[in-house]
């Protein structure tokens, strides 16, 4: 069970007011607020154990190094990777995808080779491939979606050719909330001998993830969306792939030996961690993962699912509202049984058919106008294209409002959103 009132006490910002109204923070898809435990871990490390990692024989450096490696182990356990050497610390999802795009394309792709992405990708899973298209002449192919925001799996299968070298798709859409059938996506790709990168930015904070059960070749996420600070994130890669790929950036720590004639590279994961890593961020990420683990990822999934269902129910009664993404509670019956991940079974059982993200428009009120007026009521929602312009084109819109929930949101806050929307709509 999730005791939300108890959890909320850990997040001082939730007790603040905006324009005289209690803050209703519904922009968790963009970034989450931080619990005291995470903020205190950052302060403590700087006050008591700060030193650069890996390079020192002195006490503090060794303590800091141990903490970094312990954090790596915490991440490993959290996403159920086989080895801590498969966990690369990055700045976040964007850097993780850029790393794979750069190293994978350099090593594995030639002009004319193809990467498959989907219509619902965040720009950070589109533009890195387009850069490679410009630089190396690779071809980007796109899985289409239904009007409800569900991947067309038959069309996906048809995209494979002998030139397909990689599939890169999001686990959960940051706009539609669609939970993609990633096990199935991966199985189909593997049947074609093609590896898969999964963007877990919107899944890791909200549901249990097991990269080995999924059989993902690469999986990435951002710390700041899972109650950790900005500037720290993760790339998981199967050892066989990480071993095979060349370094992404060059500098200290990623080397074995350096001479002016020849340089060798460090073992995994350090080969991909050039320069001083964000070791304090890594500690704070581990504290954040411990924090959500204590609540239980299954409990979080169940709680957020029921909150999202409640919100969908309440919001769908607002006159003139248009909600994007899968709204049908019977969605799972439309989805091929195989396509439900084992790691998602518990979530399916607790009726999570979509992530805790609701994008919407009301009548012909511009999303920016409504977002600005909701803000005046203390309600923080995101407006715009959500870094998914191609998806907006597919939906035939410029942008939406987006409410996205975290572990501290309540039904009362959903009610505040609904009455805020009605109040703003009445002003037009
Ligand atoms: N992918 C998805 C699905 C996202 O929602 C986001 C951020 O909103 C990103 C990638 C990029 O994450 P970051 O900006 O933390 O690198």
Cα(199) to centroid(ligand 1), Å = 8
Q: What's the pLDDT tens digit per position in 246-299?
A: 999 999 889 899 999 999 999 999 999 999 999 999 999 999 999 999 999 999
Length of the chain: 428
How much is the pTM? 0.95
Give the β-pairing of 218-222 and 164-170.
Answer: unpaired
Q: Report which ligand 1 atom has the smallest distance to the Cα of 95.
A: 16
* pLDDT on residue 416: 98
Please give the pLDDT value at position 354.
85
Token pair of 399 as six digits: 């942008």
Alpha carbon of 202 to ligand 1 centroid (Å): 7
Ligand 1 pocket: which of 169, 202, 235, 359 to mutate (most atoms within 8 A of CB): 202
Nearest to 355 by CA among 327, 389, 313, 330: 327
Determine if ligand 1 sits within 6 Å of the CB of residue 128.
Answer: no
Query: Is the preceding omega at residue 269 within 30 degrees of 0, hence cis?
Result: yes
Give the residues of the chain that fall short of pLDDT 50: 329-352
For the record, the structure tokens of 102 come out as: 């750069």
**Ligand 1 atom closest to the CA of 171, numbered from 1:** 3
The predicted structure's pLDDT at residue 281:
98
Q: Note if 220 is an active site residue.
A: no
End-to-end CA distance of the chain: 41
Among 241, 54, 226, CA closest to 165: 241
Q: Which domains does the chain have, with CATH numbers?
A: 4-28+296-427 (3.90.1150.10), 40-290 (3.40.640.10)
């Amino acid at each position: 069970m999730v005791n939300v009132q108890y959890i909320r006490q850990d997040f001082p910002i939730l007790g603040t007011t905006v324009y005289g109204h209690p803050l209703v923070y519904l922009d968790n898809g963009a970034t989450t607020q931080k619990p005291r435990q995470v903020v205190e871990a950052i302060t403590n490390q700087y006050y008591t154990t700060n030193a650069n990692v890996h390079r020192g024989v002195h006490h503090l450096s060794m303590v800091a190094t141990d903490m970094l490696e312990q954090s790596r182990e915490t991440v490993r356990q959290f996403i159920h990777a086989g080895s801590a050497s498969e966990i690369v610390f990055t700045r976040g999802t964007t850097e993780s995808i850029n790393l794979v795009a750069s190293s994978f394309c350099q090593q594995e792709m030639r002009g004319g080779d193809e990467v498959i992405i989907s219509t619902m990708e965040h720009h950070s899973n589109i533009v890195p491939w387009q850069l490679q298209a410009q630089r190396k002449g690779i071809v980007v192919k796109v899985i289409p979606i239904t009007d409800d925001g569900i991947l067309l799996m038959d069309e996906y299968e048809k995209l494979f050719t002998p030139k397909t070298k990689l599939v890169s798709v999001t686990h959960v859409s940051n706009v539609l909330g669609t939970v993609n059938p990633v096990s199935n996506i991966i199985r189909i790709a593997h049947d074609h001998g093609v590896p898969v990168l999964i963007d877990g930015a919107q899944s890791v904070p909200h549901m249990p993830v097991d990269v080995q059960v999924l059989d993902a070749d690469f999986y990435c996420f951002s710390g700041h969306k899972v109650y950790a600070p900005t500037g720290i994130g993760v790339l998981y890669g199967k050892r066989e792939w990480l071993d095979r790929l060349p370094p992404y950036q060059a500098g200290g720590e990623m080397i074995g030996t350096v001479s002016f004639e020849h340089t060798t590279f460090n073992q995994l994961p350090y080969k991909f961690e050039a320069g001083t890593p964000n070791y304090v961020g890594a500690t704070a990420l581990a504290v954040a993962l411990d924090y959500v683990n204590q609540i239980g990822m299954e409990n979080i999934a169940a709680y957020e699912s029921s909150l999202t269902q409640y919100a969908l129910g309440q919001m769908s009664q607002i006159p003139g509202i248009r909600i994007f993404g899968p709204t049908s509670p019977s969605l799972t019956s439309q989805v091929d049984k195989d396509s439900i991940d084992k790691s998602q079974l518990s979530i399916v059982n607790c009726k999570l058919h979509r992530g805790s993200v609701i994008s919407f428009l009301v009548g012909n009120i511009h999303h920016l106008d409504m977002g600005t007026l909701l803000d005046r009521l203390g309600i923080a929602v995101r407006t715009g294209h959500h870094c998914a312009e191609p998806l907006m084109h597919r939906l035939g819109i410029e942008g939406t409002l987006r409410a996205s929930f975290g572990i501290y949101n309540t039904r009362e806050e959903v009610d505040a959103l609904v009455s805020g929307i009605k109040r703003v709509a009445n002003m037009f």
